């Protein structure tokens, strides 16, 4: 299979967010350059096709094109022309300088499948494996990681009638949306960066929960927190302070604990969760079925919700995991009075299978992708 990696040079917009998500669904890796500060990440991404809005081909981006070119060949360049046929002042020379690279010109807006066909035609086979960890390292070295993070919210639905029962805050890199938080905040990332980023997510989660309450659309809003952070006194102190300042949000905020490959002291995590619960913070076990999660390990945690990871759910849908395995997990949760959420519901078949399991709620692209908070409440003002 081709290792297709596309660099998009454009302004940040709803269109570029949609384009990233659509191409990633087609197994085409995408990174974006929105400003000069994104150039080091672009170099680490090592694209084999460039897609650029001609208005964005300033001198700095022209230099970036030269940095990305190899000694053997120039990278193929697809120009997005926009609706204005005139080039922005200073861009004409950059386009002329890149003429030998240009393989196609397409007007904006366009359907992603049109671009996907061009990428398939011009992206050469590459033996280089592009590691997302290299991209993260480049952002950190450029002091661009935190500035690059945005928070979006995905809805959670009742499996009985499809009604919205909550939202989950999801961290995304503006320029590389497909990278998961587990990769962004791995053991190689300084814990101080993870604490600062998570506190920003918590602030936006609480703000949305408060706005929903004011608009009489009150449903809980959740944020992700790695188990390892709950063993860090600095983070726990900041979280307690936020909860004390927001007593009116008791029961409106949920903390989803993730673990991945970093093993935390589960007894310490359970004790902290008990204390947080006294401030009205509910606990959810996220991505159950991956990493180190098992029933013995989580039994001490006072969780009100457990989320089945999409991979184990899809394995069940493909007859690779028997219904008794997932059914027993759901039964265990219900005996504790906890709700269960099935992640990765993308088709009517997935919805049917999730209902068959007897789970309570579902989440996935079947109902839509994560969206910026201003899509959910009026007059949203960010931090």
Q: What is the CATH number of the domain that holds 86?
A: 3.40.50.2300
> Do 208 and 377 touch, CB atoms closer than 8 A?
yes
What's the pLDDT score for residue 232? 95
112-126, 133-147, 232-246, 310-324: segment of lowest average pLDDT: 112-126
- Give dist(CA 306, CA 298) in Å, integer: 10
| pLDDT tens digits for range 277-309 | 999 999 999 989 876 667 888 888 999 999 999
| Residue 41 sits in the same domain as residue 154 | no
Q: Please indicate, yes or no, if residue 381 is contained in any of the structural domains.
A: no
- Select, from the ranges 88-102, 187-201, 221-235, the one with the highest average predicted confidence (pLDDT): 221-235
Among 197, 194, 201, 272, smallest CA distance to 230 is for: 272
Among 194, 174, 175, 199, smallest CA distance to 183 is for: 194
What's the pLDDT score for residue 63? 77
Band (86; pLDDT cuts 50, 70, 90): very low
- Give dist(CA 258, CA 260) in Å, integer: 6
What's the pLDDT score for residue 235? 97
Residue 378 tokens, joined: 């009026």
Q: Please indicate, yes or no, if residue 61 is contained in any of the structural domains.
A: yes
Q: Please indicate, yes or no, if residue 142 is contained in any of the structural domains.
A: no
| Residue 122 sits in the same domain as residue 224 | no
What's the pLDDT score for residue 89? 41
Phi (first) and psi of residue 283, to 5 degrees: -120, 135
Q: Please indicate, yes or no, if residue 140 is contained in any of the structural domains.
A: no
Band (329; pLDDT cuts 50, 70, 90): very high
| Residue 327 sits in the same domain as residue 371 | yes
Angle 294-347-218 from CA coordinates, rounded to 5°? 70
- The β-bridge relationship of strands 49-53 and 77-80 is parallel
DSSP state of 368: -
Bridge partner list, 105: 79
Mean pLDDT throughout 242-264?
87
Alpha helices (H) along the chain: 14-25, 39-45, 59-68, 92-97, 112-122, 132-141, 145-148, 181-184, 191-214, 233-245, 266-277, 295-298, 310-317, 323-335, 348-357
Does 221 sit behind a cis peptide bond, omega within 30 degrees of 0 on the bond before it? no
- CA torsion sign for 368, 371, 373, 379 is negative
| Residue 122 sits in the same domain as residue 157 | no
Neighbours of 304 (CB within 10 A): 18
| Residue 187 sits in the same domain as residue 287 | yes
| pLDDT tens digits for range 11-56 | 999 999 999 999 999 999 999 999 888 989 999 998 989 999 988 8
Q: Is the pLDDT confidence value at 149 over 60?
A: yes
Residues of the chain with pLDDT > 70: what percent?
88
Residue 82 tokens, joined: 């926009």
Q: Please indicate, yes or no, if residue 138 is contained in any of the structural domains.
A: no
What's the pLDDT score for residue 130? 61
Backbone Cα Rg of the chain: 23
> Do 167 and 156 touch, CB atoms closer than 8 A?
yes
What's the pLDDT score for residue 131? 76
Q: Please indicate, yes or no, if residue 135 is contained in any of the structural domains.
A: no
Domain final residue, candidates 130, 162, 183: 130
What's the pLDDT score for residue 72? 57
| Residue 66 sits in the same domain as residue 163 | no
- Give dist(CA 308, CA 284) in Å, integer: 11
Q: Is the pLDDT confidence value at 69 over 80?
A: no
| Residue 35 sits in the same domain as residue 154 | no
| Residue 33 sits in the same domain as residue 72 | yes
Q: Is the pLDDT confidence value at 352 over 70?
A: yes
For residue 307, the enclosing domain spans: 149-375
Residue 323 tokens, joined: 């219904």
| Residue 116 sits in the same domain as residue 165 | no
Which is higher by pLDDT, 111 or 153?
Answer: 153
DSSP state of 36: G
What's the pLDDT score for residue 65? 80
Band (172; pLDDT cuts 50, 70, 90): very high
Q: Please indicate, yes or no, if residue 21 is contained in any of the structural domains.
A: yes
Mean pLDDT throughout 170-198?
90
| pLDDT tens digits for range 56-68 | 876 667 778 877 8
| Residue 47 sits in the same domain as residue 101 | yes
Domain final residue, candidates 130, 165, 194: 130
Residues of the chain with pLDDT > 90: what percent?
64
Q: In what order do the strands lie in the sheet with 77-80?
A: 29-33, 5-9, 49-53, 77-80, 102-106
45-49, 127-131, 216-220: segment of lowest average pLDDT: 127-131
134-139 own/partner pairs: CB under 8 Å, 24+ apart: 134/44, 135/31, 135/41, 135/44, 135/45, 135/176, 135/179, 136/179, 136/183, 136/184, 136/186, 136/188, 136/189, 137/44, 137/188, 138/40, 138/41, 138/43, 138/44, 139/40, 139/41, 139/173
> Do 115 and 4 touch, CB atoms closer than 8 A?
no
Does the global pTM surpass 0.95? no
| Residue 96 sits in the same domain as residue 198 | no
Number of domains in the chain: 2
Domain final residue, candidates 78, 103, 130: 130
Question: What's the CATH code of the domain at 288?
Answer: 3.20.20.450
What's the pLDDT score for residue 201? 96
How high is the mean pLDDT of the chain?
A: 88
| Residue 311 sits in the same domain as residue 221 | yes
What's the pLDDT score for residue 254? 97
Q: Is the pLDDT confidence value at 333 over 90?
A: yes
Q: Please indicate, yes or no, if residue 157 is contained in any of the structural domains.
A: yes
């Amino acid at each position: 299979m081709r290792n297709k990696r596309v660099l998009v040079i454009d302004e940040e917009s709803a269109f570029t967010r949609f384009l990233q998500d659509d191409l990633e669904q087609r197994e085409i890796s995408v990174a974006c350059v929105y400003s000069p500060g994104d150039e080091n990440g672009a170099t680490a991404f090592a694209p084999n096709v460039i897609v650029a809005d001609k208005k964005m081909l300033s001198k700095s981006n022209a230099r970036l094109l030269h940095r990305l070119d190899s000694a053997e060949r120039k990278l193929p360049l697809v120009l997005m022309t926009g609706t204005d046929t005139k080039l922005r002042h200073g861009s004409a020379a950059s386009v002329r300088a890149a003429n030998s690279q240009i393989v196609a010109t397409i007007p904006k807006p366009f359907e992603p499948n049109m671009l996907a066909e061009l990428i398939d035609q011009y992206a050469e086979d590459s033996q280089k494996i592009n590691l997302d960890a290299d991209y993260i390292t480049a952002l950190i070295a450029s002091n661009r990681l935190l500035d690059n993070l945005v928070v979006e919210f995905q809805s959670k639905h009742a499996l009985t009638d499809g009604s919205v029962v909550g939202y989950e805050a999801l961290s995304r890199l503006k320029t590389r949306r497909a990278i998961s938080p587990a990769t962004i905040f791995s053991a190689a990332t300084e814990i101080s960066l993870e604490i600062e980023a998570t506190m920003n997510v918590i602030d936006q989660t609480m703000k949305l929960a408060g706005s929903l309450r004011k608009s009489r659309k009150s449903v809980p809003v959740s944020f992700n927190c790695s188990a390892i952070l709950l063993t860090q006194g600095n983070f726990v102190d900041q979280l307690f302070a936020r909860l004390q300042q927001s007593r009116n949000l008791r029961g409106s905020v949920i903390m989803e604990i993730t673990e991945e490959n970093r093993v935390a002291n589960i007894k310490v995590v359970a004790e902290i969760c008990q204390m947080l619960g006294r401030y009205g913070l509910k606990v959810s076990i996220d991505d159950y079925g991956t990493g180190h999660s098992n029933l013995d390990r989580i039994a001490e945690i006072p969780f009100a919700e457990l989320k089945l990871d999409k991979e184990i759910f899809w394995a069940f849908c493909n007859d690779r995991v028997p219904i008794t395995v997932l059914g027993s997990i759901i039964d265990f949760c219900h005996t504790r009075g906890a709700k269960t959420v099935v992640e990765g519901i993308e088709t009517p078949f997935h919805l049917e299978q999730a209902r068959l399991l007897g789970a309570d709620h579902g989440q996935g692209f079947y109902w839509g992708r994560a969206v910026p908070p201003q899509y959910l409440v009026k007059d949203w003002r960010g931090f």
